[in-house]
Amino acid sequence: MRSTMCLALLVVLLLLAGCSQATAPEVRQSAPAAAPPQPRQEAANTSSATSEFGSQAQLSSVQDRLVVRQATLALVVTDGMASAEKITSLTNKVGGYVVSQHSEQRGDYVLRTLTLRVPADRFDEVLKELRAMSVRVDRDDVQAQDVTEEYVDLDAQIRNLEASEEQYLSLMKRATQVDDVLKIQAQLSQVQGDIERLKARKQYLERSAQMSVITVTLTPMGLQQQAGQPGWSALRTIQEALAGSLQLGQVIVDVLIWLLILGIPLAAVIVPFWLLVRWLWRRRRPAAPASTS
């Protein structure tokens, strides 16, 4: 009896072990079925992180301000030619160049004007050097213009137009009618022209921000003293005489015009009256006595 009970207990234990082994694989097989959504969630998080990184990069690029700086100086110097040579040498030394140079003869002296382009990071240094080489600074005007907003707007317009260009090119490939091709070509040409124009403006802003403009006027001390105490000048006397004769001629022409305008109606009244008076005077004058031989 005891052996029979042990055998039955052993059978029950074996059955329980078999049931536990049968249910375990089902749990392990059902778990992988819910796993696939995980990679998609990770991809979504990666995409959002990439988008956020791109926006931060764009924001950091916008924070780099694009500033165009320019200055106008009027310097009084002892020797205009020597100062112009020093300015040219200084400009080349800092990596810039002379855009233009203009000279104007004034009596025995020459007034010079130079336009320079210098790197923006050397702008203040060059201004300091220019002021130091002068006897006196009569004008010192420095201006700065922030063109960052315009630059960013140009970049956005170019991207939009380039997208439109790609669409027109795609339509061009699919077009079969001549009229459609011509219409698409006209729109495409206009878009491409706008792109080139905006790119040129964008490039101009970039160059202007990288290379600042300085305009320098060099006035010799002798010319300024001569301007303060003018002496006799034959040329100035001739100019004043010509100006006076011109004014006299204008006065004479004005008088003739007035006489012409007022003389016609006065003549229409005075001439008949004078003829009538003369005729009456002749009738009343006694006749001369006849002469006797």
pLDDT tens for the chain, 293 residues: list them: 444 444 445 444 444 444 444 444 433 333 333 333 333 333 333 333 333 334 334 434 444 789 999 999 999 998 889 999 999 999 999 999 999 999 988 777 888 999 999 999 999 999 999 999 998 899 999 999 999 999 999 999 999 999 999 999 999 888 888 888 899 999 999 999 999 999 999 999 999 999 999 999 999 887 655 554 455 566 767 877 877 778 888 888 888 887 778 777 777 778 787 777 777 777 776 655 555 54
Phi, psi dihedral angles at 248 (to 5 degrees): -65, -45
Phi, psi dihedral angles at 133 (to 5 degrees): -85, 5
pLDDT at position 169, please? Answer: 92
Q: How much is the pTM?
A: 0.52
Encoded amino acid at 263, one letter: G
Encoded amino acid at 101, one letter: Q
Contact between 145 and 102 under an 8 Å Cβ cutoff? The reply is: no
pLDDT at position 64, please? Answer: 74
Q: Which of 105, 109, 84 is nearest to 225 (CA)?
A: 109
CA 67 to chain centre: 12
Strand partners, 142: 71
pLDDT at position 131, please? Answer: 93
pLDDT at position 160, please? Answer: 95
